[in-house]
Amino acid sequence: MIPPTMDGSDSRTAPISGHAWVPIDDENTWTWSFGLRHHRPLTDEERDLAGGRDGSWGPIDENYGPIMNRDNEYLMDREKQRTQNFTGIDGVPNQDAAVQESMGPITDRTRELLGRSDSAVVAWRKMIIESAKALQDGVEPPMVLLPEAYNVRSATLLLDREVAWEDGAAPLMQGGDISRAVTEAAE
């Protein structure tokens, strides 16, 4: 999930969005993006921007394939790259796709140079590998038995210096009944 952005409004009313990468075979993945405003329905304009064929996660063709893709170099515009935008590619999602797909369908992770900011990635990969090996031996992964661990949201907020982030963000990060969490955060 993507933490709501701080656009000058109260972060409790900012949109909530995220992505899910779903493998469909060894070399291809569907990417599903979602968005909502928990305090009100999306407007027609917001819905078109988020989910329309020409919205921010597009444009897409009649088969839901990206029009900006590896085969056409994501419609990179060299003049725009020189004068306006480092990549020359329109839209952050298309820029992300260009970087992700440039690695090829299967990336050799042994050549990866990870730094301190990647410690969560390292820990996650280690846990997944250990869980897969244990499952081969008939041991069910522990996270299967803890569904409540997945009931969490990302959050963006400003806190006074004396407020620990764990305490200040807790009402916004709790999944489930978001209206209750927003009410608690406002109090």
- Domain borders along the chain are 115-146
Using pLDDT thresholds of 50, 70 and 90, give the confidence band for residue 187: low
- Which residue shows structure tokens 């369908």? 105
pLDDT digits (tens, 9 = 90+) for 113-161: 888 888 988 998 999 999 999 999 999 988 888 777 777 777 777 889 9
Half-sphere exposure of 132 (CA within 13 A, CB side): 6
Chain mean position to CA 99: 15
pTM as predicted: 0.62
